[in-house]
């Protein structure tokens, strides 16, 4: 499998070259174009969180129930994949470690990458203000993540704070808790619009997106008539 990222950073699209009989798993609806001999299938199964239950859990996590599987039948082929939002794509090589991905940032992965729905604990979920579920990714192979806006990676060594709406993914080598920014109390954190932050500790990488889809949705959505 070879992945090329085109049109970065504002309208990124991934061109995936598949070897004969190779597969790529992608979020439903993300396929833009493909060679005519590519076989498209849907699956509920992917790793530990497979099956119908896994699919339903993914749905709760803001992903679709089904994942698409594209397979190059009998000869090499190509698939173009793109997310809905204006923004960037990053390729993250999975090599046995664990990565927590914000639901919605998952775009595609090699078949040997496992997608499971991680539950970050009730307090974290309640206080994060984002969807209750995050995806826990493990296994081996390429993983494609997408962002609203540009993606910047922060090598955490010590303590780092990210607004939950700006988290794309983070390495599991980091410990984290949700809370309020230092120096504020709960009331001021909420009033100040920074009520939901994630505090990372230890060593590892956090991938952040420069823009918050929820905030943009609020900006535009608040001006639209109710449906």
Partner 1 sequence: MQYEIKYKPAFSTLVVSLAPGDSITAEAGAMASMDGGLTMKTHFFGGFFSALLKSWFGGESLFANTFVNKSNKTQTVVLTQSSIGDMEALELRGRTFGFESGCYIAHTGNVKIGVAWAGFQSWFSGEGLFKLQASGNGTVFFGGYGGITKRRVTGEFVVDTGHLLAYESNLKLNLGMAGSLMGSITSGEGLVMRLKGNGEIYMQSRSIDGLVNFLKSKL
Nearest to 190 by CA among 202, 179, 205: 179
Handedness of CA 180, 185, 187, 188 (dihedral sign): negative
Shorter beta-carbon distance to partner 1: residue 109 or 164: 164
Give the contacts of 100 (CB within 8 A, at least 6 positions apart): 118, 120, 134, 135, 136, 137, 169, 170, 171, 172
Shorter beta-carbon distance to partner 1: residue 39 or 202: 202
**Residues of span 9-38 touching partner 1 by CB under 8 A:** 9-10
Shorter beta-carbon distance to partner 1: residue 139 or 179: 179
- C-alpha span between 35 and 184 (Å, rounded): 54
Shorter beta-carbon distance to partner 1: residue 144 or 162: 162
Is residue 6 part of the contact set for partner 1 (CB under 8 A)? no
Quick one: tokens of 216?
A: 């943009």
User: At closest approach, how far in Å is the CB of 104 from partner 1?
Assistant: 16
92 by Cβ neighbours in 10 Å (0-12 / 13-18 / 19+) ranks as buried
Is residue 99 part of the contact set for partner 1 (CB under 8 A)? no
Shorter beta-carbon distance to partner 1: residue 96 or 193: 193
User: At closest approach, how far in Å is the CB of 207 from partner 1?
Assistant: 11
Is residue 89 part of the contact set for partner 1 (CB under 8 A)? no
Q: From the list 86, 91, 120, 132, which residue makes contact with partner 1 (rule: CB under 8 A)?
A: 86
Is residue 208 part of the contact set for partner 1 (CB under 8 A)? yes
The answer to whether the bond into 66 is cis (omega within 30° of 0) is: no
Asked whether the beta carbons of 65 and 40 are under 8 A apart, the reply is no
User: At closest approach, how far in Å is the CB of 187 from partner 1?
Assistant: 8
Asked whether the beta carbons of 136 and 176 are under 8 A apart, the reply is no
**Contact flags string 149-178 toward partner 1, x per CB under 8 A:** xx-x-x---xxxxxx--x------------
Count of residues of this chain found to bind partner 1 when the rule CB under 8 A is applied: 43
Asked whether the beta carbons of 140 and 96 are under 8 A apart, the reply is yes
Cα 79 to its chain centre, rounded Å, is 19
Contact residues for partner 1, defined by CB under 8 A: 9-10, 86-87, 148-150, 152, 154, 158-163, 166, 181-184, 188-189, 191-194, 199, 201, 206, 208-212, 215-216, 218-220, 223-225, 227
């Amino acid at each position: 499998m070879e992945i090329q990222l085109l049109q970065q950073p504002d309208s990124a699209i991934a061109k995936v070259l598949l070897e004969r009989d190779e597969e790529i798993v992608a979020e439903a609806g993300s396929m833009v174009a493909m060679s005519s001999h590519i076989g498209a299938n849907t699956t509920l199964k992917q790793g530990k969180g497979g099956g119908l239950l896994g699919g339903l859990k993914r749905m709760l996590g803001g992903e679709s129930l089904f994942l698409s599987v594209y397979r190059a039948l009998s000869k090499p082929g190509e698939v173009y994949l793109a997310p809905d939002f204006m923004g960037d794509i990053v390729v993250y090589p999975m090599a046995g470690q664990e990565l927590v991905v914000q639901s919605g940032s998952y775009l595609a992965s090699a078949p040997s990458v496992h997608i499971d729905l991680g539950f970050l604990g009730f307090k974290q979920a309640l206080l994060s203000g984002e969807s209750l579920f995050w995806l826990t990714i493990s296994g081996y192979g390429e993983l494609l993540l997408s962002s609203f806006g540009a993606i910047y990676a922060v090598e955490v060594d010590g303590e780092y704070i990210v607004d939950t709406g700006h988290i794309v993914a983070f390495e599991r080598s980091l410990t984290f808790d949700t809370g309020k920014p230092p120096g504020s109390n709960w009331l001021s954190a909420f009033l100040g619009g920074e009520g939901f932050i994630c505090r990372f500790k230890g060593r590892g990488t956090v991938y952040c997106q420069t823009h918050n889809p929820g905030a943009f949705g609020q900006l535009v959505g608040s001006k639209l008539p109710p449906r």
